[in-house]
Amino acid sequence: MVSLTCPNVYWGGEEVSVQAAREANDNVADAQSRYPDRIRWFASLPWEYPQRAVEELERSCAKGAVGVMVLANVAGRSLTDPMFAPIWQAIDDRKLPVLVHPTDPPGVDLMDMSKFDLSWSVGFMFDTTLAITRMIFEGFFDQYPHLKVIASHGGGTLPYLVGRFEKGDEVELASRRQMKRKPTDYLRHIYYDSITYDLRPLKYLIEVVGHEHVMFGTDWPHWVHDTKGAFANTAALPEAQMNAIRSRNAERVFGF
């Protein structure tokens, strides 16, 4: 499963962003045509220009895209921003999986995350967590019931906040509540990759959301990829869980 990582195509103005998306998508579509038994891909879209993004989604799906790649914030905008509604509706209509991958969160300089690669180790986790939490509490998955969102890097810190989410929902004013189910229900509705770099958080993720909602990931070819660790950590799981995470869950989600 091939995708274009950050900054994706969120730069350069409308025509540049659209052209970058087209070239990126054409490139991976060509790769799939050359290696049809090895490669599938997520479409990159010029999210800042919704109508053009919907057009590129249609074009990409016609060329073989099996999902969509989006960063956890689009040039500082939340993924639940109303301007993106036409794109989400088009994705929901097609029942496509969406990989949410982090980038630098807004305010990374203000929070002094440039030192020690904190934007990667902390900021990325925060970016994914905030994006998905907004989706949960804003009732996003009720609005778009066919979405199959995949939260990168084991969901950031989402599994470890389950108790706080449930307590927050318990004390929320009824007039402000937008979601129809409990936060844990939504955590078990979405999907996650297995990139945790350590077996212990992977096991905890499985405990919270179920192994049926975790899929194999490596983060390759980022310099922080963990291909060996991904195989080793999944090999340490019970065989049924390992097989589900390494292939069967993805086959079900992507319809292979």
Is 52 inside any structural domain? yes
Taking all residues of the chain, what is their mean pLDDT, rounded to a whole number?
95
pLDDT above 70 as % of the chain? 100
CATH of the domain at 219: 3.20.20.140
**Span 60-115, pLDDT tens digits:** 999 999 999 999 999 999 999 999 999 999 999 999 999 999 999 888 888 888 88
The answer on pLDDT for 245 being more than 90 is yes
The answer on pLDDT for 173 being more than 80 is no
Is 7 inside any structural domain? no
**Span 33-70, pLDDT tens digits:** 999 999 999 999 999 999 999 999 999 999 999 999 99
Q: Domain residues for 225?
A: 14-254
Instruction: Give alpha helix (H) positions in 82-198.
Output: 85-94, 118, 124-137, 140-143, 152-155, 162-171, 183-187
* Cis check: omega of the bond before 183, within 30 degrees of 0: no
**Span 218-237, pLDDT tens digits:** 998 888 899 999 999 999 99
Is 6 inside any structural domain? no
The answer on pLDDT for 182 being more than 80 is yes
CA distances from 170 to 64, 164, 177, 184 (A): 44, 10, 10, 12
CA distance 8 to 87: 16
What is the predicted pLDDT for the residue at 25?
Answer: 98
Q: Average pLDDT of 136-157?
A: 95
Is 115 inside any structural domain? yes
Indicate if the alpha-carbon torsion angle 116, 131, 150, 101 is positive or negative. Answer: negative
What is the predicted pLDDT for the residue at 176?
Answer: 79
What is the predicted pLDDT for the residue at 79?
Answer: 98
Which contiguous run of DSSP H or E holds residue 151? strand 148-151
Is 201 inside any structural domain? yes
Is 1 inside any structural domain? no
What end-to-end distance do the CA atoms of the chain give, in Å? 12
Domain count, the chain: 1
Is 9 inside any structural domain? no
Is 213 inside any structural domain? yes
